[in-house]
Structure 1
Amino acid sequence: MSPSLVFVILVLLGLNTYQVFSQTTIDCQRPPQLVDPALCCRDGGRDQVAEQCAQRILGTANGQKPGGPPSLETAACLAECILTSSKYIEEPQKLNLANIRSDLSAKFSNDSAYVDAMTMAYSKCEPQSQRRLAMIQQQQSQQQQQRCSPFSAIVLGCTYMEYFKNCPDHRWTQNAQCALAKAYVTQCGLGA
């Protein structure tokens, strides 16, 4: 999945946490300067499933501004499409970790550190995402019917946050701005 697409999902879920201060003290209460997570920790990139889902969901999003960020509902549907099409979800709000590991191992057969980091992130984020979804559902009125559950978007946001915090050394960019971004994400308790 494209890092910019993941970032949009994170921002829309209120997790705009890939931001850092340009000073040494980290204040979790103040939004720091934005840094692109893909510049610090390379992920697997956007694959065919993500491309097809983006075409299907973003190409037909009702009321979307062309080129603008997707709505929360559109982001939820996009994330749901990606995880369902990849067979990462076996039933509502339940990840299939065996399928996730198998798929990632096939796509990244020469990078077991990446496969391990992503699989661990999905595993750690599943229960956290289930709890967060339950809290969201309690706060919503029964009359608000959503087209897509936010569970997949919560899982993806959390997973990429955990991956960022545990980025394999060979995918990490060593510089002060990235070190500060990782410190902010870790110290402020973001992710799972």
Structure 2
Amino acid sequence: MKNSTLIIFSFAWLLKFGNSLKIDCDNPEFIREDRIHYCCKHPDGYQEFVDSCAKETGFNYIQSNEESIVDITADHATMGTCFAKCVFNKLQFMKGDELDMSAVRQHFESKYKADPEYAKEMINAFDHCHGKSVENTAKFLSNPIFHNIGAEFCDPKPGVIMACVIREFFHNCPADRWAKTEECNTVLEFSKKCKDALTTI
């Protein structure tokens, strides 16, 4: 399973860990973001959209040396907004400038009839993130990296929703899908305690 698949979908059910993990939010170097897609198993089926949109928008997947939000350049963030918009348009999740929750619901209920738990958690995540999209978009645009960006970037709302869905699913991975490794547990605990420290979640 490629790292790029995570850019769209990660998954659901919160795991609780003891206080034995010592997390240092100022030291993310030990976190391997390029490996977190191994932590929560999920169905494939979106690679075609991901690859196509990455090519169309010039979006490059996260590199191993981009482990902090401060490593993301304005250009990369700009292309990311266009990448997310492209993916959502190809999945027909947008109606104008708004997320079409009925289309989202129909997509997952139809595509994952044999996996109703996955469909339900995906729909719940999109519903939650859709409800917070206005607030999160404003917060996203307040980031200093956008202060010097011109008008040539896409509506950030799809990207904001996508990022929210990734975070929701990674933080709520069903126990039967979660890889119970020390590395995965550490990344999850780090991402919960150090919000916005990781670029992918």
TM-score computed with the length of structure 2 as normaliser: 0.68
1:184 equivalent to 2:181? Answer no
Amino acid at match of 1:160: I
Question: Which whole-Å CA distance do the structure 2 matches of 1:73 and 1:41 have between them?
Answer: 28
* CA pair 142-105 structure 1, distance change in 2 beyond 3 A: same
Q: Does 2:25 align with 1:24?
A: no
**Equivalent-residue separation in structure 1 for 2:190 and 2:140 (angstroms):** 25
Q: Secondary structure at the match of 1:171?
A: coil
- Once residues 26 and 54 of structure 2 are traced to their aligned partners in structure 1, the CA distance between those partners, rounded to angstroms, is 33
Show the counterpart of 1:39: 38
Pairing 1:124–2:128 present: yes
Once residues 106 and 164 of structure 2 are traced to their aligned partners in structure 1, the CA distance between those partners, rounded to angstroms, is: 20
Residues 113, 168 of structure 1: 8 Å contact kept: no
Shift of residue 41 of structure 1? Answer: 0.7
* Aligned counterpart for 1:107 among listed residues 105, 111, 117: 111
Deviations 1:56-76 (A, max 9, x none): 323xx7xx8xx9998222221
Please say if 1:85 is aligned against 2:84. Answer: no
Q: Structure 2 unaligned segments of length 5 or more: list them.
A: 9-19, 67-74
Q: Which runs of 5+ in 1 are unaligned?
A: 9-22
Identical aligned residues as a percent: 20
TM-score, L = length of structure 1: 0.71
Q: Does 1:133 align with 2:137?
A: yes
Residues 77 and 2 of structure 1: is their aligned pair in 2 closer, same or farther, counting only changes over 3 Å? farther
Contact residue 7 and residue 166 of structure 2 kept, 8 A: no
In the TM superposition, what is the alpha-carbon distance from 1:40 to its structure 2 partner?
0.4
Matched AA of 2:88: L
Instruction: Say what the alpha-carbon RMSD is for the aligned residues.
Output: 3.4
Structure 1 residues 137 and 188: alpha-carbon distance in aligned structure 2, compared to 1, 3 A threshold: closer
CA contact (8 A) 2:4 2:50 kept: no
Q: CA deviation at 1:143?
A: 7.9
Contact 1:6-1:157 within 8 A present in 2 as well: no
